[in-house]
């Protein structure tokens, strides 16, 4: 999962020109679900949203308080475009985002974890897969990106898969090893 957290003075979401959610001081969270994401990543991200220290304390100490500690609000907005690849050409590629029912289920799971980790009435939501107008008044501005990468076990499986694929692509044999460098015989002493 990937998320952008923005510290805000206020934020709202409108669908077809009608406001469906709004918050005062708190955090606006844009969240995206990637293929391979599970409840584990959603749990971690929800905890991070609620625990991230984005505000100063009463004595001026920087980055000391979380949204829960200031009794702020949270607005979650699904945004698959966070996972776009822009490496080739000028048209974004969205294959890095999970689609359909599973993305909806996992995003909703994430949203509910944020609600249950704090106070349901202080956590609002956008509308999944809707064309939304998001308005905000940034506070700072403070904007942080959080990206949970693939679990190590999955990275290992993918690495093995691509290694086998590479071996098969060169005729079913491993690429030839580099020959060992020949050692030079010690030079004869000259008189």
Q: How far is CA 114 from the centre of its chain?
A: 15
Catalytic residue among 38, 81, 116, 159: 81
**3-state class of 7 per DSSP?**
strand
Determine if residue 26 is left, alpha or beta; phi over 0 gives left, psi from -120 to 50 gives alpha, anything else beta. Answer: left
Burial 117-151 (b: 16+ CB within 10 A, else e): bbeeebbbbbeeeeebebebeebeeeeeebebeee
Q: Could you confirm whether 81 is annotated as catalytic?
A: yes
**CA dist., res. 178 & res. 26, Å (int):** 58
Residues 6+ apart with CB under 8 A from 109: 39, 42
Determine if residue 100 is left, alpha or beta; phi over 0 gives left, psi from -120 to 50 gives alpha, anything else beta. Answer: left
**CA dist., res. 54 & res. 68, Å (int):** 11
Which residues carry out catalysis?
A: 81
């Amino acid at each position: 999962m990937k998320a952008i957290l923005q510290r805000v003075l206020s934020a709202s979401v409108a669908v077809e020109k009608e406001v469906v959610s709004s918050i005062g001081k708190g955090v606006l969270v844009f969240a995206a679900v990637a293929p391979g994401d599970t409840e584990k990543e959603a749990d971690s991200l929800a905890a991070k949203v609620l625990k991230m220290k984005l505000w100063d304390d009463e004595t001026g100490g920087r980055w000391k308080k979380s949204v829960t500690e200031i009794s702020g609000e949270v607005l979650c907005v699904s945004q698959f475009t966070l996972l776009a690849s822009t490496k080739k050409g000028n048209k974004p590629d969205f294959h890095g985002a999970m689609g359909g029912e599973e993305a909806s289920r996992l995003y909703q799971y994430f949203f509910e974890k944020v609600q249950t980790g704090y106070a349901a009435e202080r956590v609002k939501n956008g509308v999944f897969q809707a064309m939304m107008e998001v308005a905000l008044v940034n506070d700072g501005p403070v904007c942080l990106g959080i990206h949970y990468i693939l679990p190590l076990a999955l990275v290992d499986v993918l690495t093995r898969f691509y290694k086998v694929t590479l071996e098969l692509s060169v005729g079913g044999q491993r690429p030839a090893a580099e020959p060992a460098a020949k050692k030079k015989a010690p030079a004869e002493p000259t008189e």
